Amino acid sequence: MSTADTEIKIGKRICKNRITMAPTVKFNAGEDGIVTDFFVKHYELRAKHGVGFICVEATAVAPEGRLAPSQIGLWNDEQIEGHRRLVDACHAFGTIIVPQIHFGGLSTHPKCGRLTSPTSVKWNLFGNEVDAHELTFAEIKEIEGRFIDAAVRAQKAGYDGVQLHGCHSYLINDFASAVNKRTDEYGGSTENRARFGCNIISGIRKACGDDFIISVRTTGCDPTVEESLGIAECYVKAGCDYLQVSTGIQDIDFIEHDDSLPYNKIAALGVKFHDHFKGIVPVSLVNGIRTPEQVHYVLENDLIDTVDLACGLLADPAFSEAILNGTPYEKCYSCKTCGWGPDHAHICPALAKRGDEEWVW
């Protein structure tokens, strides 16, 4: 039986506990994509209070592939120093830290670049139907290189590894999904649809070495659970050390779930992947885990290796201490004011209740 404070090996690194911070975009950067004091403080607070593994929010590998103009990036060397400050702040507390590297694909913001896709498709963007650009073979190879270059910059900044964003209609997900109708080596079979992600993984491994963690946030049900397991198997064979399981383009209403369980159907995908990859690579679940009791349940029943926390850690940076030590904490109100999107007002009533400027993000 594992508990929240049990160490775990991820790649060749030892993580001090099973609590991980999920990547949640704060949309607080300038057009230059440089990490500012805001980001350093935001992540340092979560490391200070005991999180074992932090995945820094979606970090663009190219300015034309951003999901918003206010997204941080690793597309040039000038961005390395800001990331180094962030890494050093979190490493001071013994926290493993990786950035989630990202290219927008079908969710690229129109102020940043055109929508791109493995196959030409009409796509709904902010209520408007847009023709997505079908990537040429040369463009695909260029973007693969952008991911690898971003990982090299991450390593120079001191990160312990990277996470590839392969969910939520972003480009790696687009290749793996049913949107992909290509007839060349990047389309058709499961292996071909995984090729884009696999080429990035193998390229990063070659450039950054065996000690560098390569994680993938992968979809658990796009277009089916079985196909998603097959895609993830390809990633692992290519060199992925760690899987975080979320959703992709496919609607998840078709997934059956026992609502009496203390976790939702998205988290249940992580449970299914953990069962499939047990003894091969660690797997993390995410979504709707907002109480210490839920964390203890999934870990102590050997349902998952690590637990990705988002809203709970946003509502209270010391939520991890509540899990590890049973201390009081401010509960997430599930009010969505921290909701995804660059136009959202990031006002959290749990943080406001504290009345302490240190806790405001």
- Give 242's strand partners: 215
Given 43, 159, 170, 186, the catalytic residue: 170
- Output phi, psi for 151, to 5 deg: -65, -40
**Structure letter (DSSP) for residue 73:** B
Rounded to 5°, angle at Cα 106 from 136 and 222: 100
CA distance 329 to 352: 13
Assess whether 170 carries a catalytic annotation: yes
3-state DSSP assignment of residue 116? strand
Q: Where are the alpha helices (DSSP H) in 194-291?
A: 195-208, 225-238, 265-277
Distances (CA, A) of 275 to 32, 278, 279, 281, 304: 42, 5, 9, 11, 8
What would the two tokens of residue 51 be? 């999180």
CA distance 357 to 45: 12
Say how far residue 263 (Cα) sits from the centre of its chain.
Answer: 19
From edge to edge, which strands make up the β-sheet containing 128-134?
116-117, 128-134, 121-125
CA distance 326 to 46: 17
**Structure letter (DSSP) for residue 106:** G
Gyration radius of the chain over CA positions: 19
- Nearest CA among 204, 242, 233 for reference residue 13: 242
- Nearest CA among 188, 68, 211, 204 for reference residue 144: 204
Q: Residue 297 corresponds to which amino acid?
A: Y
Say how far residue 80 (Cα) sits from the centre of its chain.
Answer: 20
Q: Which residues are catalytic?
A: 170
